[in-house]
Amino acid sequence: GAVVSQHPSWVICKSGTSVKIECRSLDFQATTMFWYRQFPKQSLMLMATSNEGSKATYEQGVEKDKFLINHASLTLSTLTVTSAHPEDSSFYICSAHEGNYGYTFGSGTRLTVV
């Protein structure tokens, strides 16, 4: 089946620094990937849709300058949390769509900003 690899699985960073999260489709090409954010004991909130070779589409209320998305190839999308603050601490999850296997999720990245 389709596999989506997300890295890192856990990152702790200092307030004010930037963190990059990678999402890779390992055995398929994904023209579209999705980034979600999840707070403890809450549901997944769609942040943005990442389109290969074009700008990401952000959901209402998500700051595009804060959460930079780059989808430079058919197998890699990155989410960069810029100038991170403690309120950005969350679980970030990516997913990708592959025609035969549907929507597959990465294992998530737990970001802790101290």
Partner 1 sequence: GESVGLHLPTLSVQEGDNSIINCAYSNSASDYFIWYKQESGKGPQFIIDIRSNMDKRQGQRVTVLLNKTVKHLSLQIAATQPGDSAVYFCAEKAGSNQFYFGTGTSLTVIP
Residues in contact with partner 1 by CB under 8 A are 4, 6, 32, 34, 36, 38-39, 41-46, 49, 59-60, 91, 93, 95, 97, 102-108, 110
Q: Which is nearer to partner 1, 15 or 107 (CB)?
A: 107
Min dist. Cβ of residue 52 to partner 1 (A):
13
Reduced to 3 states (helix: H, G, I; strand: E, B; else coil), residue 34 is strand
**For the chain, how are helix, strand and coil distributed in percent, rounded to 5?**
5, 55, 40
Q: Which is nearer to partner 1, 66 or 91 (CB)?
A: 91
Min dist. Cβ of residue 111 to partner 1 (A):
13
Q: Which is nearer to partner 1, 84 or 93 (CB)?
A: 93
Reduced to 3 states (helix: H, G, I; strand: E, B; else coil), residue 88 is helix
CB contact set of 61 (below 8 Å; sequence gap of 6+): none
- C-alpha R_g of the chain: 13
